[in-house]
Structure 1
Amino acid sequence: MTMLDRMRRHRNWLKWSLGLVVLAFVIFYIPDFLSNPAAGTGAAAGDTIATVEGRAITAGEFRRTYQAQVQAYRNAYGGAMSEQLLKQLGIDQQILQQMVDERAALAEAARVGIDASDEEVRQRILSVPAFQENGAFIGEQRYQQLLRAQRPPMTAGEFEDTVRRQIVVEKLRASLTEWLSATDKELEQEYRRRNDKVKLTVASFTLDSLRKDATASDAEVASYFEAHKETFRIPEKRKIRYLLVDVDALRAKVVVPAGEVERSYNGNIDQYTAPEQVRASHILLKTEGKDEATVKAKAEALLKQAKAGADFAELAKKNSEDEASAKNGGDLDYFGRGRMVPEFDQAAFAMQPGQMTSELVKTEFGFHIIKLVDKKPATTRTLADVRQQLTEQLAYETATAQATTLADTIATEIRRPADLDRAAAAHGLAVQESGLFSRDEPILALGSSPEATVRAFAMKSDEVAGPIRSSRGFVFVTLTGRQDPYVPKLDEVASRVRDEVIKNKARELGRQKASEIAARLKNAPDFEKAAKAAGVEAKTTELITRDAPLPDLGITTTLGEMAFALPVGSVSGVVETDSGVAIVKVLEKQDVTPTEWLANKDRFRDEFLTDRRNRFFSAYMAKAKQRMRIEVNRDTLQKTVG
């Protein structure tokens, strides 16, 4: 993580800690963006959405976390990030998975005897910046007032339980992963692998460009199929009858009154307001692990140079220890209030464009010299600007609420497959039948609905499942057919087999063409000119790392590793990749210097070990969850989010 990322996030909450609710107390205000009375009110706060080893996740807990996460997206991306879009992206499922993961971690912690004391909870709460004023706790009365100001309100007990869970998960993770380490040699090798760079000229023959010259006879297709039948095995497939409550069909009938549009606009004006923003550049000298007086003296010398008229961008490139911005001359781009740590924030917004801080700015990261580049005032989009967007949003919300109510009603009317037809007739809907689909194929008429596929492959023929959420609305399904996996006849998969034969021929053709010119390119004084004479356009990269995409070929580990092994000026042999074949010439190399490695060693150690420990913890918990009883009530979830 770069220094800028850390400044913007303020604190590196662990993935498994589920710090979303605590994040709300850094913001201290969650606008009531879910103000539509029909949305998300179908489940009572105490209803259970999921249980993990008997530990419940209630609708109230989920709704609070969901609202905090949606608001976080709104803060980051503005009003254009609508709740509708977030639902289509599956944010509700992701949040539920996070909460299930947290409960699983708590269950595992209890199993191994890890808990959090009242004193640990107290100290953690006292350390939250939002509960401090002039370095001291704000007091019990204001603490509880701030909790009640949240939407939905929180009691002190609820918040403290959240903090306690967070501490327990952190302690579990530490107990499982703190032993993981890395030697200096291992760290340096990995740092160099990620950061060494090379500049290449690439002459490639892509499979896509060669397919037009490749053909496959019927005999070749038949022969290939006989030799590779298992490759084309058809997996198990199923088909269903389904009753769809289509949101789009309902939305087409919704008329949104102009007054409702205006009320919604006025009630959610924050969504259409872009806050004041500034663009700043900075030079950072870190103090962590260093003598602060020495660092400050160096920073003051740089400030003196900047005040004397030295090029700020050049000073930043040469001296700033914020790796992300230094290469851009210290440029941090535009940011709003609250995106940086408080000391930085206050200094940046107090200046006018062209001004520079008269004194060093001290933050938890070190000493900053800040120059303000530009300032944008707060702006508000007018009702006329957003009327069409808002009308469509309200129509969708109304239609979704209608669909939810209708789906809930139908759910009470359906107990067995035959009930689908009666319910459809009663509500002017139609029962339809899907084609066969596999586990990896979408059910085309339903839109995106992974859950419908999962339920279809888990159910018996006399069962009905639903309502299930899909991108088109709510659906009830019953199983009507099952096709066992089998090896097909050639006629069924002839196009797939032919495509595979052509792809293999294209690869062989590319191999031949590359081999024909390899000797000429290897000794050519001008690689690009020789490639062009051979009918190939050679393309030159910038300085790139091993994992960077190559022109026309994309990311290819094999070619990347080979290129780094060659000396400057040398030309490779023919190298095959997933997307074609290539010959490359190494033009330049930029290896990590000893000075650069030493400067980044401590930061990279933290980054490397955090990643290693996260992966270990994730693998450990994945295995632990296999022996846990985890139950999810999808109906309650759907009623909660609408």
Structure 2
Amino acid sequence: MFTDKLREGSTGPVAKFLFIIIMVSFAIAGVGSYLTPKMDFNPVKVNGNSITNGELEQQFRLEKNKLERQLGKAFREQAKDPAFNASLRKQTLERMITDQVVSDHIFNSGVVISDDLVKNRIREMPEFQVNGKFSDAQFRKVLSLAGYPSPLVFSEALKGDISKEIYLKTAFDSGFALPDDVAVMAQILSQERTFSKIDIAIDAYKKNQTAGEDEIKAYYDSHSKDFLLPEKVKVSYIYITAGDFVNDVKYTDEDLKKFFDLHAELYTIPEKRTVSHILITGEDAEDKIAKVAEELKGGASFEDLAKKYSEDSSSKDKGGKLPAFAQGVMDSSFEKAAFALEKTGDVSEPVSTQFGWHLIRLDGIEPGHGADFNQVKDDVIEQYTKVQSRELFMDKKQIIADTSFENPDSLDAAALAANAAREEGGQVSKSVQIKTSDFIANGDEKAAFPLNQPEVQKVMFQSELRESPVNSDVVELGDNAIVVVHVEGYQEPAPKPLSEVHDQVRDAVLTAKAENASGATLKSVTDSLAKSESLEKYVKDGLIVISGPATISRIKTGDVDAQVASNVFAMPTPEPGNITYKSFAGNNGSSYVLVLSKVVDPKLGADSARDSFLNNQIYNFRYGEDNQIVINSARAESKVEYNENREYLKMQEEQNN
């Protein structure tokens, strides 16, 4: 054997010479370069520069932190779904690609953002201010809670936003909508259309069709793949989550106090402010609020002026008083002005927000302060247990991954190793259990969780797992759950017997014949409409069903199906006294005809609230269009190279993709 010859020659002079050569090579190049092939694990390159997997995961965590702050418990429940996490990671990567190509495009256009501009913008942001002044401590605390690893990461992200903002303002003029634009939009949205809908009564056609046994057999033979029994597998599996190890976490009061001191920012109660305000809306709001401010300076009571002039129905009867609030809750302009006031009784200059014009009076300040340990001990226990159980989960995950790979014949060794005590003399865990399923069909959504998850079923039905058989790789379900499977049995897909699906096949034959027959009726109906002939004969014979007439507008469609409503407004306007008609394909494969009989453009009176809303909508739409133009242009001139490396794709699958 070749290995025997190597062993025999291992003490000869040639072997010693080769050994020296190899050792020198290892010393120069490193052992790793021999044992490990060079592998690119980064997801994508943009214009030759890699977006690393670490950067992707960092942005993914930031996105999750942001959504958790915005949605709270609702997001945490949604984040348990691995499909949601996979989708969010993909969206995050695409956003990073877009940000990079846009950044390159804007830089090449000559827009350069100075560090001083970024610093000034940061210092002006109200969320980083305390008593109206920038606070470095507040800045770092907010970034920490938001999940930013460093101020530099935030500054670079803000620089990109500022550059895009300046570029769009320079390149496009979309700051406002002209009055004519608003009027046209109001008219379009208010236009009313009256129509009828003609449906083909497909069931009536099926009643007139027959299907002989020869036809049924021929259809079954040519469509046998439509009537297959799915392939099935039976598996043993280990499924663990971070929550499985909560009872394994042990702690003392000393542990809790250390955790409390280390994460004091989590238990800090922020400063709150109580203010009163006067709100004026409408086109002349700025002039009106200025007059109110003059009355106030003349000695009038703020409460009396609020009751007299304020248009905020929820606070005017209380003299304009609002509930106490912390930063990050109110409109940014309103909040900035409120937190800039220094003394109780101080009144702001008129402030413009998306709601109108305000005068704001400071009524009181509730200083921010840290909580006492004993007051929040239960919260500390919950957080400490959550963190420690997460660490236990990560340990078990690695043990299971390593041991199930090293012992591929079953999951017994992996479960035993994961349950072993973490230290000599420590407590043995029972949290990791092996479970066994019945036979499960491919695509069975009713299987027990997690075996009903698409990414798990994809692994369960891999041919190598049943042909070897070996344990699967670890499949991650979100950030806090994994599953490993071992195939114990397999059933191949096979056609269902004709006797079992006879009625299903017969119905398919009848439906196909009915659809062919209804096509002729559909043409006859449209021909009759063209000749202004009555459709009564088709209704009487039960071949069509006419619904309507119904009247809808673009903003009031009632119970009309969204696709039908869209088709109604896509049809040409009929001449007075005439109709227009068109046939459309339905969602279920059948067809229908829409008959448009009347179009009315109502006369619209003045409505400042409506016009203000439409102006904002048009502006936002145009800004979005401008932004998309930049993105499309940047994408077109950029080179985006997705990593198709198999090892990278495997790693992505383990990250819920």
For Structure 1 versus Structure 2, the TM-score category normalised by the shorter chain is 0.5 to 0.7
Task: Give yes or no for the alignment of 1:446 onto 2:460.
Answer: no
Quick check: 1:608 aligned with 2:621?
yes
Q: Distance in 1 between matches of 2:597 and 2:218?
A: 39
2:185 & 2:267 partners in 1: Cα distance?
44
Question: Could you say which residue in structure 1 is the equivalent of 2:20?
Answer: none
Call closer, same or farther: CA 1:186–1:72 in 2, change over 3 Å: same
Structure 2: how far apart are the matches of 1:215 and 1:278? 73
- Could you tell me how far 1:561 is from its partner in structure 2? 1.8
Radius of gyration: which is bigger?
2
What's the counterpart of residue 120 of structure 1? 114
The two structures have a TM-score, normalised by structure 2, of: 0.52
User: Relative to 1, partners in 2 of residues 1:448 and 1:185: Cα closer, same or farther, differing over 3 Å?
Assistant: farther
Output the CA distance in 2 between the equivalents of 1:114 and 1:235: 57
Give the corresponding residue for 2:396: 406
- The Cα of 1:545 is off from its aligned counterpart by 1.0
**Of residues 124, 146, 160 in structure 1, which corresponds to 2:155?**
160
Provide closer, same or farther for how the CA distance between residues 167 and 447 of structure 1 changes in structure 2, counting only shifts above 3 A: farther
- State the 1:429 CA deviation: 0.9
Q: Can you list the C-alpha shifts for 1:606-642, whole angstroms capped at 9, x where unaligned?
A: 333333355556667888676332779699889999x
For the 8 Å contact 2:568–2:596, the answer to whether it is kept is no
For residue 245 of structure 1, give the secondary structure of its aligned residue in structure 2: strand
Q: Which residue of 2 aligns with 1:476?
A: 484
1:412 Cα shift?
Answer: 0.3
Q: Please state if 1:341 is matched with 2:328.
A: no
Task: Report how many aligned residue pairs link the two structures.
Answer: 525
- Equivalent of residue 569 in structure 2, options 529, 538, 561: 561
Match of 1:545 in 2: 554
Q: What TM-score does the superposition give when structure 1 sets the normalisation length?
A: 0.53
- Evaluate the alpha carbon distance shift between residue 416 and residue 498 of structure 1 in structure 2; reply closer, same or farther with a 3 A threshold: farther
Would you say 1:96 and 2:89 are equivalent positions?
Answer: yes
How many Å separate the matches in 1 of 2:179 and 2:511? Answer: 46
Give, in angstroms, the shift of residue 411 of structure 1. Answer: 0.8
Distance in 2 (alpha carbons) for counterparts of 1:137 and 1:348: 12
For the residue of structure 1 that corresponds to 2:559, the secondary structure is: coil
Paired position in structure 2 for 1:81: 74
Which of 431, 434, 459 lines up with 1:429 in the alignment?
Answer: 434
Give aligned-pair identity as a percent: 9
Counterparts of 1:539 and 1:257, CA distance in 2: 71
Q: CA deviation at 1:409?
A: 1.7
Query: How far did residue 163 of structure 1 move?
Result: 3.7
Contact 1:442–1:449 (CA<8 Å) still a contact in 2? no
CA distance in 1, matches of 2:578, 2:279: 41
- In the aligned structure 1, how far is the partner of 2:269 from the partner of 2:549? 45
Aligned to 2:483, the other structure's residue is in SS state strand
8 Å contact from structure 1 (residues 241, 432) kept in 2 = yes
Show CA shifts across 1:325-367 (max 9, x none). Answer: xxxxxxx9999853333442478999xxxxxx99983236695
Q: How does 1:25-174 map to 2 (within 5 A)?
A: 50-53=42-45, 55-57=50-52, 62=57, 65=59, 68-78=62-72, 80-81=73-74, 83-88=76-81, 92-105=85-98, 108=101, 114=107, 119-128=113-122, 129-130=124-125, 138=134, 150=145, 154-164=149-159
CA gap 1:202/1:160 in 2 versus in 1, 3 angstroms:
same
AA partner of residue 619 (structure 2): D
C-alpha separation in 2, matches of 1:452 and 1:248: 15
Partners of 2:183 and 2:224 lie apart in 1 by 39
Match of 1:627 in 2: 641
- After superposition, the C-alpha distances for 1:123-148 in whole angstroms (9 at most, x for unaligned) are 12321333886999948x66985588
**SS of the residue aligned with 1:246?**
strand
Structure 2: how far apart are the matches of 1:278 and 1:494?
A: 73
- The amino acid across from 1:467 in the alignment is V
Q: Is the 8 A contact 2:242 2:390 kept in 1?
A: no
Q: Which residue identity lines up with residue 437 of structure 1 in the other structure?
A: N
How big is the shift at 1:99? 3.8
Secondary structure, counterpart of 2:114 in structure 1: helix
Gaps of 5+ in 2: 1-39, 296-303, 314-321, 341-345, 367-376, 417-431, 534-544
Aligned to 2:8: none
Q: Which amino acid aligns with 1:409?
A: I
Q: Distance in 2 between matches of 1:485 and 1:615?
A: 49
Structure 1 portions without partners, runs of 5+: 1-47, 287-293, 317-331, 351-356, 378-386, 524-534
Q: CA RMSD in A?
A: 7.4
Q: Structure 1: which amino acid aligns with 2:154?
A: F
- Describe how 1:170-185 pairs up with structure 2 within 5 A: none
- For the residues of structure 2 that align with 1:610 and 1:420, how far apart are their CA atoms? 58
1:475 partner amino acid: V
Matched, 1:467 2:479: no
